[in-house]
Amino acid sequence: MRRIFTVMLAGLAAAGLTAQAQPAAGDAEAIERALAAAPRQARDGAMVIRWKADYTYDVLRPGTNRIVCYDQSGLPTEQPYSVQCTSAGNLERVAQNRRMEAEPDRTKRQAALDAAEKDGTRVKPEYGSVFYTLSGKDATTTRLHMTIAVPGATTQSTGLPDHNKQGGAWIMNAGTTSAHVMVPGS
């Protein structure tokens, strides 16, 4: 009898561990949605997070590579459907962006961003990291947009123009922590 009881307890414990490893029903949907922006070859190993109101996050699914994906739909500066993936090294920058972008007044928001840039408190993204953003008015009208973070880069340091008039890649916000290579056609 004691042996049967021990086997039953072990079985229940194993079932509990299995249940913990499986995402909740709502989390599974949130994970799939966030992963829509991930590059195909990185999707299986990407971490998925859910941002909280205090600009911290919960991990919905741990990852095995450096890509992290999240839903940002409906934020003041985002489309109704918007998911993004980037390097885990950019999470502090993304949290700072979310704090600043919570300001609905565009002028005040830009003033806060400019002040942080000027006083040196603007968090730099990881140089060379990619931001993959899939957004639109709904899931059927999305567009993929990719940018490559190059904080501090300029036309002089890269040879890339700081405008899109030549039709190729170009640097937006050159010379700032927000400098990034715009990828045409994405």
pLDDT tens, the chain, 186 aa long: 344 433 333 343 433 433 344 556 679 999 999 999 999 999 999 999 999 999 999 999 999 999 999 999 988 889 999 999 999 999 999 999 999 999 989 999 999 999 999 999 999 999 999 999 999 999 999 999 999 999 999 999 999 999 999 889 999 999 999 999 999 886
Does residue 127 sit within a domain? yes
Domain assignment present for 10: no
Alpha-carbon dihedral 120, 126, 128, 130, rounded to 10 degrees: -110
How many angstroms separate the CA atoms of 115 and 154, rounded? 20
Contact 95, 64 (CB under 8 A): no
- Pair 129, 186 in one domain: no
Regarding whether 103 and 89 lie in a shared domain, the answer is yes
- Domain, as residue range, for 130: 24-148
Is residue 121 domain-resident? yes
Contact between residue 81 and residue 73 where contact means Cβ atoms under 8 Å apart? yes
Q: Residue 17 domain-assigned?
A: no
| CA-based nearest residue to 143, from 183, 186, 85, 83 | 186
Q: Where are the alpha helices (DSSP H) in 22-61?
A: 25-35
* E strands, 62-138, in order: 67-71, 81-87, 130-136
Q: Are residues 79 and 129 in the same domain?
A: yes
Instruction: Determine contact, residues 133/145, Cβ cutoff 8 Å.
Output: yes
Tell whether 80 and 157 lie within a shared domain: no
60 and 91 housed in the same domain: yes
Number of domains in the chain: 2
Indicate whether 132 and 155 sit together in one domain: no
Q: Are residues 29 and 73 both part of a single domain?
A: yes
**Residue 184 lies inside a defined structural domain of this protein:** yes
DSSP 8-state code for residue 123: P
Q: What is the pTM (predicted TM-score) of this model?
A: 0.83
Distance CA 172, CA 130 (A): 14
